[in-house]
């Protein structure tokens, strides 16, 4: 069951704030469809299912425990697609992608398009600049 009293933009904003910024990964169960598909430009295969999204959140929390997304949501014209742009800031204090902590403060940009289905996020297309993030922590020259 979706969120019929919430606009699509509100569902996406809650997803980012609660799940990503506050680390409440259980909220993902309420906001994403069970067969949620996350298409990430940096991954060869889509990330399918809620548990996979939770694992991505935990991975980022582990590497950057103080991370925070500042998000700008672009209103949906039809309620089906919601676009967001972000700046992620944080400090590389834990192992991330097998890269040991560097203590470096980072910022990284990205954007995503979410497709809504019955008041839930069913699909996401994500584009972010991990190459710049890797440069900032000294893992790429």
* Structure tokens, 49: 């299912």
Place of tokens 């069913």: 122
pLDDT in tens, the chain (141 residues): 566 667 999 999 999 999 999 999 999 999 999 999 999 887 788 989 999 999 999 999 999 999 999 999 998 888 899 999 999 999 999 999 899 999 999 999 999 999 999 999 999 999 999 889 999 999 887
Q: What is residue 43's predicted lDDT score, i.e. its pLDDT?
A: 79
The 3-state secondary structure of 64-124 reads CCCCEEEEEEECCCCCCEEEEEEEEEEECCCCECCECCCCCEEEEEEEEEEEEECCEEEEE
Cα separation, 43 vs 118, in Å, equals: 27
Is the CB of residue 111 less than 8 Å from the CB of residue 84? yes
Place of tokens 């000294």: 138
pTM above threshold 0.85 = yes
Fold for the domain defined by 8-136: Nuclear Transport Factor 2; Chain: A, (3.10.450)
Q: What is residue 4's predicted lDDT score, i.e. its pLDDT?
A: 61
Domain range summary for the chain, segments of one domain joined by +: 8-136
Q: What is residue 44's predicted lDDT score, i.e. its pLDDT?
A: 83
b vs e for 90-114, b when ≥16 Cβ sit within 10 Å of the residue's Cβ?
bbbbeebeeeebeeeebebebebbb
Cα separation, 80 vs 57, in Å, equals: 24
């Amino acid at each position: 069951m979706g969120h019929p009293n919430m606009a699509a933009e509100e569902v996406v904003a809650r997803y980012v704030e609660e799940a990503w910024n506050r680390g409440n990964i259980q909220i993902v169960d309420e906001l994403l469809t069970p067969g949620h598909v996350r298409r990430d430009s940096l991954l060869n295969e889509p990330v399918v299912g809620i548990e996979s999204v939770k694992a991505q959140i935990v991975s980022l929390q582990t590497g950057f425990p103080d991370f925070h997304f500042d998000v700008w949501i672009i209103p949906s014209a039809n309620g089906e697609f919601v676009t967001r742009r972000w700046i992620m800031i944080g400090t590389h204090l834990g192992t991330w992608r097998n890269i040991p902590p560097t203590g470096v403060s980072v910022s990284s940009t990205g954007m995503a398009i979410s497709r809504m289905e019955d008041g839930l996020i069913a699909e996401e297309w994500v584009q972010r600049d991990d190459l710049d993030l890797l440069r900032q922590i000294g893992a790429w020259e």
